[in-house]
Chain A
Amino acid sequence: MSQTLVERKYQAVIGIECHVELKTATKMFCGCANEFGGEPNTKVCPVCLGMPGALPVANGVAIEHVIAAGLAFGAQIPAFSKFDRKNYFYPDMPKDYQISQYDMPLTLGGEVKFWREDGTMSACRLVRIHLEEDTGKSTHAGSGDGRIAGSAYSLVDFNRAGVPLMECVSEPEIHSAEDAVAYLEALRRTLLQLGVSDVKMEEGSLRCDANVSIRPAGATDLGTKTEIKNMNSFRSVHRAIETEIARQIDIVESGGRIVQETRGWDEQKGDTHSMRSKELAHDYRYFPDPDLVPLEISPDTVERIRASLPELPWQRFERYTAKYGLEPKQATQLIDNAALADYFERVVTASNHPQQSKNFVLGELSRLANETQTPVAGSKVSPEHLAELIALVEAKTINSKIAKELLARMWDGAGSPKSLVEKEGLAQTSDPSAIEKFVDEVIAANEKVVADYKAGKTNVAGFLVGQVMKASRGKADPALVNELLQRKLSS
């Protein structure tokens, strides 16, 4: 059986667990700055260092961020929630317990709507989103590879300790690596849009683990799962899941059994390795944190947050593709560049012409932006001026060549294209007698080419059109030029 047929025999089942550091001014339970990086142990205080006697006070902004995320995903917001202690010893966890949420998370249910490259929409339901505190970071020295095994000593940086961390757990209902990445992309875009996190995998503000299992196609029971860790980019999520699915299929095909275990992804080797086998049911001894009072989330709070939600990425995607006729890829490109999308929206509003708006914004304007390494939004081309330009093109006042030239000048600060056209007489010439004059001149000046054309080399027509356009300084209506030229040459 070929590999693809074997793959079709099985269905992969994937669940994703994400940890997202929230964007807040201060940490989850103290007043220390919540910022990435910095000299080790400079963003710390008695509370986030777990000094004797220090007490946590919950950050209300972080709580609202989680509620906003929950609402964006259509989750329920229970009226009561609480913080619990998750007890285990780890050197980068100052209190040797993590303040987390056990049985009463801030949000329950909901779903992440995501779209694929081909534009089809899908969704993955969420189990819950809860709020907790991040740990510090350990650095292991003397082992050569940075791992704890064989290291001479370890250093701990507590700058990250106590940073608000949102854990978002999906149901196991994703069935391909592509969908897993599409899910993550949608999650990332939504949280970015809400402004609740930077969601940067490279800075660790988004971290994810994947639970992967396979089962015979058509089966409903879940197979034994493995948990994949250490994936540092969406690309590695994709590769790791593909690799793991293939590994599990190989094992089952050769009569083996999947072992429940945690596996680490090795980016270099492109492979996963066993980290620890079937987690020795760790007893975290969760209990309600007696230092923090239970949270009461009022309906007013929920409604206030709900009312403040922006248009969500999936809604925008649907609007762009369905209403504006953008290709999925183009819609995605805009959604992933918020400033450009806003710019685009303003051009659409001003021009009332989505198709042309898209063509200019994603075409010529983006090219100029790339060339000069400056963003479109904030460039000297205002959306209103671009809309003017679009109106000129649409009214056939100028042709696309002039439009392109004008845009280049607008990019350099030339201002209103309408006034430029008026001032410099750039309006397209559609007067047949004027164009005929140029055509006649060109035919007279290019006897040899004309002879070639008449001898059957009709592909030289383009050259002649170009000459006419040049003679008219680009103002001639190209369609008319073509028509007149054809007529004269074949007479």
Chain B
Amino acid sequence: MLNQLTISELTGKLASREVCSREVVQACLDQIKRVDKQIHAFLSHDDVDALAQADAADKLLANSAKAAGKPLLGVPIAVKDVLAVKGQPLNCGSKILGKFVSPYDATAIEKLKAAGAIIFGRLNMDEFAMGSSCENSALGVTRNPYDLERVPGGSSGGSAAAVAAFEAAVALGSDTGGSIREPGAFCNLIGFKPTYGRVSRYGLIAFASSLDQIGPLTRTVEDAALVYDAMAGHDPMDSTSISSAVEPTANGLLESLSGLKIGIVRQFDTRELGEDIDEVYDRAYHDLQALGAELHDVSLPTADYGLATYYLIAPAECSSNLARFDGVRYGLRVDDKDVQAMYEQTRAAGFGPEVKRRILIGTYALSSGYYDAYYVRAQKARTLVARDFEKAFEDCDLIACPAASSPAFTFNAKSDPYSMYMMDYYTIPMSLAGLPALSVPCGWVTPPGGTRPLPMGLQLCAPIFGEKLLLGAAHAYERATGHASKHKPQVSEVSA
């Protein structure tokens, strides 16, 4: 089962010529054929192009000199529909981009291609990355491979579902307030959001520019580290990308947590999440301790304001970022009597309800007379949230907390927007502070009325630029606990 191997397993077999990249890519395409009609992770996939890339990789693999310096040579990586890949459709889970084909590669894509990766497929997502369930996609619903009656999380739901269902070795997602970490938790994966600015945003369709960050969804921590190492780094095309050198992470994976201080956030009381879930996190914290970590009680007093802060800043930025989808230059156009009416008709027809809601909220928050009361205050609150973390990290090396307040929920369970926003309660503060964070599988619960055990995710968070320690510690935890392998996705039973 080539489509189930980790990156290091794959690159080992590819380098030894035991398998070729074409076989690996074909295995993924076959799996897509087998299972994607059940989960609908992919919006599209160009098989001819993917196999052509695989053939090109195989040519390089035949010559070890040419293969040198390409750590991901021949590894298939599928991409969330928010990232520009030259010659591939780019829809952002929306109708408004119509038949748009990207004329250029995102920097992250360019870097992964340079590392030898096979970039293929377009993965479903909440429209413009706004949502926590993938239900806001205008292009169809994606199902959770571990329970087809449930959402895969969002907004990177397609990315999570594809990797969980073994349709790709790894996938790229984007995280603004939790959009990698929450679907990672829902789909039994590592969902890793690097420090803001570590991975160039050039070619990532902007939702909220000051929060957006690209990251991988993978089945192992090591995979996440390998993809991150290939993608991270300064980009002259992105002014907000960080210029300091990137510390490689894949060579720093730990086997124990001894000597590490891990902060448990006083304000995040997991007893509020129900007995089963509380037990999962209680156990997780004990496991961290058992691995040698010293647990510390830390306080994030302003974390509770995270959600309100986020739902002013992110919509404010999105209201401006999404203005360009106006029917003038590309994408959908609904003609009308004059240009103003054309704008209105195009945007009315092209955007879904959640996107419209956020554009309205953001427009309001930036309006004259409200700007100081909303946008400026939110920015101040954001600074306070970041300071809380700085203070907390004086007492610990990492912070551990839930990645989401529940496991994957059923479709239409969160029809009230606020209850959906609450899904990101634990992930938003880290986003506001720009910190690196990830979710790692930490146990299973069968929710009331549920028929199958569902994965839960532990969120680990490090100070800015703390990727190496973050991934290192997550690796130790993953290895020691082995939660991910305790259950198989439902989709494998159905397809068998």
A binding-site residues for B, Cβ under 8 Å: 46, 49-58, 85, 87, 89, 91, 94-97, 154, 156, 281, 283, 285-287, 290-293
Contacts and interface: CB of A to CB of B under 8 A. Distances in A.
Contacts of A290: 208-210, 240, 317
Contact of A292 (B201, B204, B239): B239
Which 3 pairs show the lowest CB-CB distances between chains A and B?
A96-B323, A290-B209, A285-B366
Contacts of A287: 316, 320, 366, 371, 375
* A interface majority secondary structure: loop
Nearest to B327: A91
Given A46-B104, A53-B206, A91 B324 contact: no
Contacts of B238: 55, 57
B328 A91 contact: yes
A176 B392 CA distance: 64
B192 interface: no
B201 A55 contact: yes
B67 interface: no
Contacts of A50: 324, 329
Nearest to A83: B239
Contact of B97 (A52, A57, A91, A286): A52
B236 interface: yes
Contact of B205 (A53, A96, A285): A53
Interface of B: 83-84, 90, 92, 97, 100, 102-104, 106, 201-206, 208-210, 236-240, 316-317, 319-320, 323-326, 328-330, 339-340, 343, 363, 366-368, 371, 375
18 contacts: A50-B324, A51-B84, A51-B102, A52-B205, A53-B90, A53-B102, A53-B206, A54-B203, A89-B326, A91-B328, A95-B323, A96-B326, A97-B323, A154-B339, A156-B329, A281-B368, A285-B366, A287-B375
A53 B214 CA distance: 12
Nearest to B82: A53
Contacts of A89: 323, 326, 340, 343
A55 B107 CA distance: 11
Contact of B240 (A49, A52, A97, A293): A293
A450 B371 CA distance: 97
A317 to B, nearest CB: 41
Nearest to A292: B239
Given A53-B202, A291-B209, 15 more contacts: A46-B104, A51-B103, A52-B92, A53-B83, A53-B205, A54-B203, A57-B238, A58-B239, A87-B319, A89-B343, A91-B326, A94-B324, A285-B367, A290-B208, A291-B240
B320 A53 contact: no
Contacts of A97: 320, 323
A53 B324 CA distance: 11
A14 to B, nearest CB: 28
Contact of A57 (B102, B103, B237): B237
A346 B472 CA distance: 72
Contacts of A58: 239
Contacts of B201: 53, 55
A54 B202 contact: yes
Nearest to B322: A96
A438 B348 CA distance: 101
Nearest to A90: B339
